[in-house]
Amino acid sequence: MILCTPACCTRFACIADRCEDSCCVGWEIAVDSASLARYDSVRGAFAQTLQDSLVRTPQGACFRLRPDGRCALLNDAGLCELYIHLGKDALCQICADHPRFFEWYGPVKEAGLGLCCPEAARLWFAQPLPFSLVRQPLAEPEKPAPLWYEPLERVRACAFSLLQDPERSFPQRLALVTALCGHAQTCVDRDRPEDVDAVLAAYADPAPLLESLAQSVAPADDCRREVVELFRGLSALDPGWTRRLERCPAVPGWDPAAEPWLERFALYLVYRYFLKSCLDGNVLGRGKWMTAACLLLFALSRDGTDPVLLAREWSKNVEYCPANLDRLDLAVQKLSASSLLGMLVSL
């Protein structure tokens, strides 16, 4: 098997007590069965403290949260008592993995870092461009690749290239990627992976495509509000995120100063989510909500809020709730691709 990881993610290390938004605060941390069995076998002075920190239900176990939302094992110095007493290997699976995420596509395992983690976000938004991936052998059993993995992996590579094209404004890049998702969706709907070659050939020179888009879609001012509304119907872990969305204006006129960080945010979304389409065929729908997420963060940033903080809040409140991603897939069906493209080419 091959492990694929963004180059910047290979430098990650938890900063523990120096973290300004600890993942040990405000999260209900489920304990896997193997870890729970190990905790039940612990003896000695720490055993009772460990047992008192656990909440057991018929559905499983989790760590108890104090009234202030802190994990019962997070001490006043911001360090984990479990780690201190039993070592790193004693962490449950969620704590050991976070903020890492993994996806398996047959012979390829992709890994990355979720932006809800402050240190992961710092690394991601500070990474040098062009965006690069590190591939290395991994001693894990392989499975056959999904039929659409290889064609859509090449489409994703094209999306990476389009997003980093310095000759185009960022709205133009997003328009091209959204249109690319539409063309790839047509190939998937027709069950013709061999047609992807012709699609990619058309995007080798984006200029005619942009001209065609500008002529074929009308500016859609209503879509500016619709993009924001798409995210208001989702669940939120933090009430502050809900209030931020309530204050958010419709997507405003363009500001080129936002392009460097938006480029990196878009690359994150495409890396983490695009290839999921080889499993469910939802290329255009996923492309539309990823584009909408970029526009949402742009609108939110107009009040001067640090964009890296916005990306962290988006990650924590949207993508770390699986039900929200399912809701996005459904809600975005009402967002017209033509209207979205019309808004992008008019910015």
pLDDT, one tens digit for every residue, the chain (347 residues):
999 999 999 999 999 999 999 999 988 899 999 999 999 999 999 999 999 999 999 999 999 999 999 999 999 999 999 999 999 999 999 999 999 999 999 999 999 999 999 999 999 999 999 999 999 999 998 899 999 999 999 999 999 999 999 999 999 999 999 999 999 999 999 999 999 999 999 999 999 999 988 888 766 667 899 999 999 989 998 999 999 999 999 999 999 999 999 999 999 999 999 999 999 999 999 999 999 999 999 999 999 999 999 999 999 999 999 999 999 999 999 999 999 999 998 88
Same domain membership, residue 296 and residue 201: yes
Same domain membership, residue 102 and residue 87: no
Whole-angstrom distance, CA of residue 322 vs CA of residue 229:
19
Within-domain flag for 63 = yes
Within-domain flag for 14 = no
Within-domain flag for 247 = yes
User: b/e string for 124-158 if b means 16 or more Cβ within 10 A?
Assistant: bbebeeebeeeeeeeeeeeeeebebbebbbbbbeb
Same domain membership, residue 243 and residue 303: yes
Same domain membership, residue 272 and residue 183: yes
Whole-angstrom distance, CA of residue 10 vs CA of residue 247:
37
Same domain membership, residue 285 and residue 222: yes
Within-domain flag for 142 = no
Same domain membership, residue 155 and residue 240: yes
Cis geometry, peptide bond prior to residue 128 (ω within 30 degrees of 0): no
Given a contact cutoff of 8 angstroms between Cβ atoms, the answer to whether 153 and 2 are in contact is no
User: b/e string for 34-43 if b means 16 or more Cβ within 10 A?
Assistant: ebbeebeebe
Same domain membership, residue 161 and residue 301: yes
DSSP for 187-240, please give it. Answer: HHHTT-GGGHHHHHHHTTSHHHHHHHHHHHS---THHHHHHHHHHHTS--S-HH
Same domain membership, residue 304 and residue 232: yes
Strand 2-6 relative to strand 108-113, pairing: parallel
State CA 55 to chain mean position distance: 30
Residues in Cβ contact with 331 at an 8 Å cutoff, skipping those fewer than 6 apart = 230, 233, 289
Range of the domain at 221: 149-346
Same domain membership, residue 185 and residue 165: yes
Same domain membership, residue 280 and residue 183: yes
Whole-angstrom distance, CA of residue 246 vs CA of residue 232:
8
Residues in Cβ contact with 101 at an 8 Å cutoff, skipping those fewer than 6 apart = 111, 112, 113, 114, 272
Same domain membership, residue 225 and residue 80: no
Q: What is the pLDDT of residue 218?
A: 65
Q: How many CA atoms lie within 13 A of 88 on its CB side?
A: 6
Same domain membership, residue 329 and residue 220: yes
Within-domain flag for 202 = yes
Within-domain flag for 109 = yes
Q: State how many domains the chain has.
A: 3
Whole-angstrom distance, CA of residue 143 vs CA of residue 156:
21
Within-domain flag for 68 = yes
Dihedral, 18, 19, 23, 26 alpha carbons, nearest 10: 100
Within-domain flag for 15 = no
Q: What is the pLDDT of residue 219?
A: 63
Whole-angstrom distance, CA of residue 62 vs CA of residue 59:
10
Given a contact cutoff of 8 angstroms between Cβ atoms, the answer to whether 278 and 152 are in contact is yes
Residues in Cβ contact with 189 at an 8 Å cutoff, skipping those fewer than 6 apart = 281
